[in-house]
Chains A and B, each alone.
Chain A
Amino acid sequence: MKTKKPLRRTKALFDSDEREQLKQRTALVKLLKKLRKRRHQLKHELAETSDSQRSQQIKDELQVLKAQRKKAWNYSAHSMGKTAIQRLKWSSSDQI
């Protein structure tokens, strides 16, 4: 039967550690996407604002984001290996 093989694979996935890894990877990707989105928001706001105090605040937050993304990058590379990171498919402009 054509469905047997994929069913077997699905069952193997559910029974294996890979399922847990997949869950973790999804959570990490979600978190990284949030950071990326926030960074885009801030950069956009920085380009728009003429208020020097606000601009200073944005730059400060961007610095914090940079440190977080660097840490996230190192953490994911360490805990999931490079292949997993490549799957995140960050464009070159998103690199830290």
Chain B
Amino acid sequence: MEQRYEEHIKSIHDAIIAYSFEIQLADRPGLSARLHEYRTAGRSILEAVKAMKHLNKNLQVSVNHYNADIREQYDMIRRQIVQVLRTVDAFKEPLDDTSSGLSLDAERAKLENASLFSESRLGELLRAHRLSAPMIGSMLKDEGYSKLLCSKMLFAASVILGSTDEATRKFEQAITLTEEELQGVVQEQAART
């Protein structure tokens, strides 16, 4: 994976960056801003791939792990990633006309809200000697990588697959919820339950 990352992703990304800086768009500010957005999205994809690189080893090991508790916990990470991939896919090819750049906010709120591993459950497993402290440490670190991977993918999707109409993009960007606003929504959701 390391080699593939270097050969197929990083080198291409570097070439795109170099090209995007070479072309002159000083007289077309709209296009220049768009190019900047694409560069940021490209960097997000790169960060998502890096997070996947960190996750990959433990995810693979956990598939056939003798400890069912580890399999169960890592399945949650898999489910989270698949859910985000499905959302991105639905955003790319919407089934109806209600999809917009704002459709990804619901998934972002879910991510913000989600703590995959319940602390009480992990404590329980530790006390019962079903998981060791280093295992729990690794799992929590991997949970962080998964969250990072998902949020970067959602951001990249919103830029790359979003509307091409400038006015629509402008409004979508203005109305997309910020991190603080998402936190507020998540708190409201928590208060409701």
Contacts and interface: CB of A to CB of B under 8 A. Distances in A.
Interface of A: 23-24, 26-28, 30-31, 34-35, 37-38, 41, 56, 59-61, 63-65, 67-68, 71-72, 75
Interface stretch (B121-129, B141-149, B163-171): B163-171
Interface residues of B, number: 28
B189 A60 contact: yes
- 3 pairs of A and B residues whose beta carbons are closest in the complex: A27-B167, A38-B98, A61-B106
Given A31-B100, A34-B100, A68-B105, A23 B167 contact: yes
A67 B181 contact: yes
A60 B165 CA distance: 29
Contacts of B181: 67, 71
Contact of A63 (B97, B167, B192): B192
B193 A56 contact: yes
B188 interface: yes
A37 B189 CA distance: 22
Given A27-B171, A31-B168, A63-B188, A68 B177 contact: yes
